[in-house]
Amino acid sequence: MGKRKIIEIDEDKCTGCGECVIACAEGALEVIDGKAKVVNEVFCDGLGACIGECPEGALTIVERDAPDFDEEAVKRHLADAGGDRAEEADDSHPCGCPSATPMMLRRVHAPPSTATEDTANRRPSELVNWPVQWRLVQPSSPFYRNADILLAADCCPFAYADFHKDFMKDKPIVIGCPKLEEQSAFLEKLVRLFSEAKPRSVKVAMMEVPCCSGLMALAKEALKKAGSDASVDGVIIGIDGSLK
Comma-separated ranges of CATH 3.40.50 domains in the chain: 102-237
Q: How far apart are CA 3 and CA 68, in angstroms?
A: 9
The stretch 19-24 carries a mean pLDDT of 84
More confident residue, 39 or 97: 39
% of the chain with per-residue pLDDT over 90? 55
Lowest mean pLDDT, pick from 46-50, 171-175, 193-197: 46-50
Radius of gyration over every alpha carbon of the chain, rounded to an integer in angstroms: 20
DSSP SS3 for 8: strand
| Residue 213, C-beta contacts closer than 8 angstroms, at least 6 positions apart | 178, 206
Q: CA 56, 61, 64, 65 torsion: positive or negative? A: positive
Model confidence at 140, in pLDDT bands (50, 70, 90)?
Answer: confident
Tell me, what's the pLDDT at 85? 42
Most confident range (mean pLDDT) of 88-102, 103-117, 226-240 is 226-240
Q: How confident is the model at residue 99 (pLDDT cuts 50, 70, 90)?
A: low
Q: Boundaries of CATH 3.30.70.20 in the chain?
A: 2-69
Query: 119: pLDDT confidence band, cut at 50, 70 and 90?
Result: low
Average pLDDT in the chain: 85
For helices 183-197 and 214-225, what crossing angle results, to 10°?
50
Greatest mean pLDDT among 5-19, 27-41, 214-228: 214-228
Over residues 157-181, the pLDDT tens digits come to 999 999 999 999 999 999 999 888 8
- Which has more pLDDT, 179 or 156? 156
pTM tops 0.85, yes or no = no
Closest CA to 54 of 6, 101, 13: 13
pLDDT band of 127, cuts 50, 70, 90:
very high
Task: Kindly write down the DSSP assignment for every residue of 176-213, as one continuous string.
Answer: E-TTTS-HHHHHHHHHHHHHHH--SEEEEEEESSGGGG
Fold designation for 102-237: Rossmann fold (3.40.50)
User: Is 3.30.70.20 the CATH number for 2-69?
Assistant: yes
pLDDT of 184 > 70? The answer is yes
Residue 90 binned pLDDT confidence (cut-offs 50, 70, 90): very low
Question: Could you report the per-residue pLDDT of 202-238, keeping only the tens digit for each?
Answer: 999 999 999 899 999 999 999 999 999 999 999 999 9
Q: Which range is least confidently modeled, 8-12, 137-141, 143-147?
A: 137-141
